[in-house]
Structure 1
Amino acid sequence: MGFFTAVGVEGLKIRKSKMIWITLAVFTAAPLMAGFFIFVLKNPEFAKSSGLIGDKAQLFGLADWPTYLSMLAQIIAVGGILVFGFVTSWVFGREYADRTIKDLLTLPLHRLSIVMAKFLAVFITNFLLGAYVVIIGVIIGFFIKLPAWSMEAVLDGGFVLLVTTILTSTLSTPPAFVACYSRGYLAPIGFILFMVVLAQVIAAAGYGAFFPWAVPALFSGIAGTGAVLGLSSFFAVFFTGLIGLAATLYWWLYADQH
């Protein structure tokens, strides 16, 4: 069985699992909520009659396409840490939970190829999930007739969305190692939740630019235009992703598998 066949098999596992449909349901709710808030912001009369909802919607700024695309990027940055990490935890952890790891190890395929096939399937799934959020969000944006649509807004917003998705997906490799080390998917989910909470605390303290799990949210504009990220912030994210990838590869190649 070749490498791309292994990728196809991993993709089939994801497509046939209940996990991906639960994930889609969660990610569908996010742009719907964003669209609702932007609709409230766009209609002052409705916002006034909604009380606190209208007041909260005012926090997002103007009801236009640049603001809305920024909201979608923030959804991917924050929600993607959880959702992308959950997908990764399931792909790697289920082999231990379902006790199918022994079957993988008997295949006439190098362990390196198995791990890389899993990672490639995960990254493709994550990007498709990110694209799904953007497509649903854009449809909602046209439905509520947001103003300020322009090619410049699309290019700027698209760039932020793309980079945010890449940064967030890169941080999904450490949960893969935790899943392998713990031989399940509960520990990596706990790890992800801990990192999300820790990112909030560190960002509130003013050091979010130095903590990898806070960088995607800051880049998406969740802290406003005041947050400045240097090359060291992006390096920290990709270095963390590389460490997670290397640790997972090392575990599969050299750790005892039972």
Structure 2
Amino acid sequence: MTNFTAAWETEWLLCLRSTIVRIATALLVFVIPAGAIGAVALSRSGTTATVTTAKFAPYASGPLAETHVLVAAQVMSVALLMAGGFAMAWTFGQEVASGLAGARTGMATSRAGVALAKVLVHLTWLTGCVIAVVGLTVTASALVCAVTGVPFDDGAWSRAGLALVAGLLSAGLTIPFGWVATVTRSPLGTIGVLIGVVVVTQLVTALGGGAWFPYAAPSLWTEMGGPEAAAAVGLPHLLLAAAVMPAGAIAVVHAWRRLDDL
């Protein structure tokens, strides 16, 4: 337990000092709430440009606070996957590519323990980002409602719950990229796979199979594809998406355990 604690503290320190993590945190925590508030304000200002009218149309009506949080949930479900995927490419790929992972052989903490610590630190960081995004969005929305004299609708709280769950699911979906980074030994290769997954997600969704595709289900659940697409996402689809996280964690820990054989 002591050895794992040491690995946890080391990986947490590396996470805090990572430029990628710092940039991603700032973008997630501050840009998403501001973007959600701004998108709704623009859609209801009557000045939306013609080319963006259709895109902003879903935000032009409905309870104000509820819409703010829903937009944040939609953006976060995609942004978190990209930010987390980039971070996993760095966390695992850089160490394997540089040969530092091999130097862990003589350490008290096993490489499997180090990999598990990396995964848990990564999830802790993303969970904090999700909570911060939802909290700041709700707070900013309440301020906007107070300034404009619009009631803060109770539906915002249920949307906040949806945003939290969707965000946590998206965080879990980034874990398999640690396995990709390990077996490819390439941070850039991992980013390529991440982009490929995003493209495949779009294709599968367009073909109508998004609900059963783990990387599409959380976004669809936040009504990114419209209310009808969201209604098609049920508990089995969300559980399937949730299963990606433990499966990815097991895969990456196993890959690090047999790192010399890869």
Which of 239, 243, 259 is the equivalent residue of 1:239? 243
Residue 224 of structure 2 is aligned to residue 225 of structure 1: no
Which of 118, 128, 149 is the equivalent residue of 2:152? 149
Show structure 1 runs of 5+ residues with no match. none
Length-normalised TM-score, structure 2 = 0.87
8 Å contact from structure 1 (residues 39, 144) kept in 2 = no
1:165-204 equivalences under 5 Å are 165-204=167-206
Which AA in structure 2 matches 1:60? Y
The separation in 1 between residues aligned to 2:171 and 2:5, in whole angstroms, is 21
Pick closer, same or farther for the CA change 1:120–1:132 going to 2, 3 Å.
Answer: same
Q: Paired residue for 1:20? A: 21
8 Å contact from structure 1 (residues 40, 54) kept in 2 = no
The separation in 2 between residues aligned to 1:54 and 1:40, in whole angstroms, is 10
Q: Paired residue for 2:4? A: 3
8 Å contact from structure 1 (residues 81, 196) kept in 2 = no
Residues 161-191 of structure 1: CA distance to partner in whole angstroms, max 9, x if unpaired? 1110121111112101000001121122111
Which AA in structure 2 matches 1:132? A
SS at match of 1:213: coil
Q: Paired residue for 1:207? A: 209
Which AA in structure 1 matches 2:15? I
What is the Cα deviation at residue 70 of structure 1? 0.7
What is the Cα deviation at residue 238 of structure 1? 2.7
Q: Paired residue for 2:97? A: 97
Pick closer, same or farther for the CA change 1:6–1:56 going to 2, 3 Å.
Answer: same
Which AA in structure 2 matches 1:248? V
Pick closer, same or farther for the CA change 1:99–1:256 going to 2, 3 Å.
Answer: closer
The separation in 2 between residues aligned to 1:26 and 1:134, in whole angstroms, is 14
Sequence identity percentage: 23
Greater shift in the superposed pair: 66-75 or 225-234: 225-234
Greater shift in the superposed pair: 116-125 or 219-228: 219-228
Length-normalised TM-score, structure 1 = 0.88
- CA RMSD in angstroms comes to 2.3
Residues 123-162 of structure 1: CA distance to partner in whole angstroms, max 9, x if unpaired? 0011112223223433432443373414x32430121011
Which AA in structure 2 matches 1:237? A
Which AA in structure 2 matches 1:110? S
Which AA in structure 2 matches 1:137? T
Pick closer, same or farther for the CA change 1:26–1:98 going to 2, 3 Å.
Answer: farther
Runs of 4+ off more than 6 Å:
none
Show structure 2 runs of 5+ residues with no match. none
What is the Cα deviation at residue 226 of structure 1? 1.0
The separation in 1 between residues aligned to 2:9 and 2:112, in whole angstroms, is 16
Q: Paired residue for 2:120? A: 120
What is the Cα deviation at residue 55 of structure 1? 5.9
The separation in 2 between residues aligned to 1:52 and 1:140, in whole angstroms, is 28
Pick closer, same or farther for the CA change 1:237–1:36 going to 2, 3 Å.
Answer: same
Which AA in structure 2 matches 1:208? G
